[in-house]
Structure 1
Amino acid sequence: MNKELVVSYEERLRKAMMQGDVDGLDQLIDHQLVFVNHFGQALSKQDDLEAHRSGIVNFSNITFLEQRIILLQDSAVTVTRAALAGMAAGNPIDEEMYYTRVWQMNNDELKVVSGHCSLVQ
């Protein structure tokens, strides 16, 4: 595993989130996902996919501003500062967030197994 590979998966995830590509997200997210959002809610993979499928979350822009990558044996941790624009539950989004994600290599594919986001104030 190398940083370039992790960056490419982060970019695939960013594009899938912006496009509302539920099939793409399904391929990138592990079935065991636990994602803690900025409200402190622990969400499953199905919760995350349903938010995109239903349009509860709809991003018009996601720009990565800064990214750190920690490589481990068969996994990687990413810490990404991102500018977001779009809608969430009918409310406009125009914020910066930090995302921390754990990517695990399984069968020559990286998948997100855990994530967390925090609002930049």
Structure 2
Amino acid sequence: MPLNEENGEYICSVEAAINEIGGKWKSLIICSLKDGKLRFNEINKKIPEITQRMLTKTLRELEKNGIINRKVYAEVPPKVEYCLTPKGKSVLPIFDSLCEWGKKYCEPSED
């Protein structure tokens, strides 16, 4: 997201929020983790349209932004689990509201 070039700050707080959690893949990954920990392949199965490369990239961004935790277990083969951080969980009510808004305004009406 573009920043105000004069001071390096976001012009609007919505812009900052969208930068953290916006986009098709980030929101779907966050929603897939709302019920608990998942491994990479489990997330990939929940979002079959995403490529492994894009999933890896997006998971790294979410981890960097403090939205998800990545835990690596010292096993062979390596076991990696992803879960929402408290910051990530704090966005779930917002997503619930977006879902309700989508149901009300974006789905075809039965008139």
TM-score (norm 2): 0.24
More helix, by proportion: 2
More strand, by proportion: 1
**Largest Rg, 1 or 2:** 2
